[in-house]
Amino acid sequence: MNFSGPISQLSDPLLFVVLVASFLFGLVLHNVVQSRLAAYFGDSSAKNSGLASTEPQYHFDLFSLLWYLLVGFGTPRTIPLRGSMLRGRGADEVKVWLSGPLALIVWAFILLVLAKVIGLFGGTNVISSMVGGLVAAAYTSVIHAVVFIFPLPGLDGGRALYAVGNTQTRQTLDRIAAAGPLVIFIFFIALSYSGAFSYLAFPIIRAMQGLLSLLPF
C-alpha cells in the first residue's frame, strides 16, 4: 500500500466526505477505548483530559488532520497514561495500548457491514459513492491498525513493548526515539512502498470478507 491522501478523492465529494468522516471517527474510537480501559484499570488521566469523549477537538490537531488529508496517514493525539496507576502495571498497560488498534479493526468490520446493507438499496451514484467511501475507510482503518501495532516509539506497539520490555529493549526504543521522527517516517515509507502493510493487513481483511459472506443478506 502506498499512502495516498483522501484529498485525491475530491472528484467525488460524497465519497470523500464519507471516507474522511468514517475513518476519523475510527481514530476517535481508538482513543476512547484506550481512555476508558485505562480508567477501568485505575488511571483516569486520559478520561479527565476529555479523551474518553467522542468530540473530535480532543483527539486531533490541525497538523495531524492536514497530514491525513494530504498523505493518507492519520494519527490521533496520544492518550496520557501513567503505568504506575494501573492495577496490573505492565500487563494492563499493554492491554490499554493494544485496545486501540483492536477498536480500529472492529470499526472496520462495522463499516463493511454498513456498506453491504447500503448496497442493497441499488446501484445509484449516491449509493455507489457511500459504499465506496465506507469500504475505503474500512480498509484504511485496518492498515492503520497494522501500522499502530508495529513495535516502534510513538506507536501503540512500541508503547506496549516499552511497558513490558527489559532494560535493553527500552534502551533500544529510546535510541530510536532519540533519532527523531524522520527515521521512523523513512521506515514507514520503505514498508509502504514494499507492500508490507498490505501483506500484513490482508489476512484481517480476508477474515472480514469471510464473516461478511455469512451474513443473511
SS3 19: helix
pLDDT at 113: 97
Q: Which residues contact 45 (CB under 8 A, 6 or more apart)?
A: 38, 79, 80, 81, 82, 85
Burial label, 89 (beta-carbon count in 10 A; 0-12, 13-18, 19+): middle
pLDDT in tens, the chain (217 residues): 555 789 988 899 999 999 999 999 999 999 999 999 999 999 999 999 999 999 999 999 998 899 899 888 889 999 999 988 888 778 999 999 999 999 999 999 999 999 999 999 987 999 999 999 999 999 999 999 999 999 988 899 999 999 999 999 999 999 888 877 777 777 777 777 787 878 888 999 999 999 999 988 8
- The answer to whether 133 and 16 have CB atoms below 8 angstroms apart is yes
Question: What nine digits make up the cell of 37?
Answer: 480501559
Q: Which residues contact 1 (CB under 8 A, 6 or more apart)?
A: 143, 192, 195, 197, 198, 201
Largest alpha-carbon pair distance within the chain?
58
Q: Please indicate, yes or no, whether the overall pTM of this predicted structure exceeds 0.75.
A: yes
pLDDT at 3: 58
Q: Rounded to an integer, what distance in angstroms lies between the CA atom of residue 29 and that of residue 61?
A: 16
Q: Identify residue 207 by its one-letter amino acid code.
A: A
By residue count, the chain amounts to 217
How far is the first Cα of the chain from the last one, in angstroms, to the nearest whole number?
A: 30
Residue extents of the structural domains in the chain: 6-213
